[in-house]
Structure 1
């Protein structure tokens, strides 16, 4: 069963390499992505139950991943929000 995944990453190169690797290695199915803190928070608010895993870069083109991780405190028991870097 695919792992519904939301990615917050501003580097196109990292997105291009990370997404296929996670799809192959852990069965991730990317259902959304954002490159900025405000866009990531808006997506999480609009899709509170649609994701199981959020992978969040701490350094973004606008804002920080810390604000996104803070937003994840409202997540469900079956959801994991993790940061990278």
Structure 2
């Protein structure tokens, strides 16, 4: 649910190269993300959620994605200890700062997604 196109392209390339993972959907608002998750419960394995979206926030998307009993990871430029704790409390399995995209890619590959 990354809202920046350049970051979507970068993630798409890195995920494919690292383990054959593919991005199946993107959303730029909280409402779009929630709607897609509700309409496609079996079409994804890992949700990568940015906290800052065009409308709404990733904080509202985390619980929706986590309720599907799949992997949920937050990828944001605003990661602090408090943000990490809050995201994990909402259901995130992992939280990564955007400055460490390699760690995110490794984590996704380890999930077998």
What is the TM-score normalised by the length of structure 2? 0.63
> Does 2:33 match 1:40?
yes
Q: How much has 1:80 moved relative to structure 2?
A: 0.3
Unaligned runs of 5+ in 2: 77-113
Runs of 4+ in 1 over 2 A off after TM superposition: none
Kindly indicate which of the two structures has a greater share of residues assigned to helix: 2
Partner of 1:83: 74
Count of aligned pairs: 76
Aligned CA RMSD, in angstroms, stands at 1.1
1:7-64 Cα deviation digits (max 9, x unpaired) = x011111111111111111321221111111000000000112111110111111110
Residue 25 of structure 1, aligned match among 18, 24, 34: 18
Residue 62 of structure 2, aligned match among 66, 69, 84: 69
Kindly indicate which of the two structures has a greater share of residues assigned to strand: 1
> Does 2:56 match 1:50?
no
User: Whole-Å Cα distance in 2 between the matches of residues 55 and 73 of structure 1?
Assistant: 11
Q: How much has 1:70 moved relative to structure 2?
A: 1.4
What is the TM-score normalised by the length of structure 1? 0.82
- Structure number with larger C-alpha Rg: 2
